[in-house]
Amino acid sequence: MTSPDEQLSAPPIWFLALCAASSVVGLTILTPMLPLMMQDLRVSSNAVQSLLTFYLVAIAVGQIIAGPMSDRWGRRPVMIVGTILYAIGSLVCALNSNIEILKAGRIVQGLGAAACMAMSRAIVNDVFKRSEAARQMSTIAMVLAVAPALSMAFAGLIVETVRWQGTMALLALLGIVMCVCAWSVARETNRHRLPRFDLLALVLSYAAVLGNTRFLCWALCSGMQVGVFFVLNGVLAYQYQRHGYSMAQFGLWFSLTPLFYIIGNSLNRSWFVARGLERAALIGTMLSLVSMVSIFTTQWAGLTHALSLALPCCLFGFSNGIVVANSTVGAISASSDHIGTASGIVGALQMATGGIAGAIIVALGGTDEFSIASLAMIVMCLISVVCMLMIFAIETNRRRQQL
């Protein structure tokens, strides 16, 4: 239960979910359009893939900036600026067909999405205690998963109707709606703002957060899990295409992944959180490892039916629903004196992992050879398992010292 003061200061959960979901929609709605954009723009697959990478890198860098700024000036003004940037970047992409201008537009769009995403997490941790924050984060994550699921399911149909330019215009409209909502319903939740914002204060804030081993383990676990999801978004369309499926079919099959993510989140909120964030996250990371080993095995065996890709992705979605909310709250709560900075670093690590891993996998030929991508995702899942084992070791040692 939350106190009356907590409930009074909390913005509507639907608003936080909308802001968080906008960043993922900006990624997932573009995925089924990559082959078409490659044809329209007459560029290579690496060039259109860079539109995903630039977006992810912008979100990563933007959150590093937005987090500390909100610790100084508050969550609300940073969020409002973020929604404006999201709308402007989307509009730039809608009105241009030059790949370089599209990259610039995606960077602006990503910076706006970064502020919205970082502030959603920071506000939850401002208002709620650890276990309740995990439940609220699971609620946001369930809503967050619905929007990408719908965007993936209908993106193929949308692009056939209004092309990819029209899709970017829809994202610009979403940014305008978020701006109006932020202005009208968002309240300030940061009651302990930093007295100054300069280079020294920024360095000290980052040092305090990054010097925390518990934070690093939680954050790296979260980053690897989210990174795998983004890598899947970047490479699966090509694998479905090699198996003879259309982009509309790919969108419908892959939309099952967020659906199972919702199921995992629902169980996390109602059952897993009560058994401890650490135990829940460890179970989730192990399931994610099994899912990536499964998808590698089915493709290595030469299976071409859509289920050979969809079923392992469903298991991954379920496991991600358990891990992400718990690991995010675990990381931010480990740095309670610098919530905005911690939120920014967690989000940056999540997006940077996806962007950097995606770029490396593309450079190694992962879009052409799926086994390369799947092996990389296995390694990422294994790292998240190791991180959670380290968290268990740290917590066990702390309990022994308290006895």
Q: Dihedrals φ, ψ of 193, to 5°?
A: -75, 145
Q: pLDDT band for position 144 (50/70/90)?
A: confident
Pairwise CA distance, residues 281 & 6, whole Å = 26
pLDDT at 376 over 60: yes
Nearest alpha-carbon partner for 263 in 141, 384, 377, 131: 141
> Which domain range does residue 159 map to?
4-187+196-402
| pLDDT of the residue at 1 | 41
Q: pLDDT band for position 4 (50/70/90)?
A: very low
pLDDT at 146 over 70: yes
For 246, other C-beta atoms within 10 Å of its C-beta total 14
Ramachandran category for residue 270: left, alpha or beta (phi over 0 → left; psi -120 to 50 → alpha): alpha
In this prediction, residues 111-125 reach a mean pLDDT of 92
| pLDDT of the residue at 246 | 87
Q: Looking at the 3D structure of the chain, how many domains does it have? A: 1
Of the listed ranges 168-172, 254-258, 299-303, 323-327, the one predicted with least confidence: 254-258
Pairwise CA distance, residues 175 & 298, whole Å = 40
CA-based end-to-end distance of the chain: 29
CB 6 within 8 A of CB 128: yes
Pairwise CA distance, residues 69 & 196, whole Å = 10
Q: pLDDT band for position 108 (50/70/90)?
A: very high
Q: At 344, which CATH number?
A: 1.20.1250.20
The full DSSP string for 26-47 is HHHTTGGGHHHHHHHHT--HHH
Pairwise pLDDT comparison (146 vs 74), residue with the higher score? 74
Of the listed ranges 46-55, 146-155, 256-265, 294-303, the one predicted with least confidence: 146-155
Nearest alpha-carbon partner for 361 in 343, 347, 374, 346: 374
Three-state SS for 104? helix
Pairwise CA distance, residues 290 & 295, whole Å = 9
Mean of the per-residue pLDDT values for the chain? 86
The full DSSP string for 350-368 is HHHHHHHHHHHHHHTTTTT
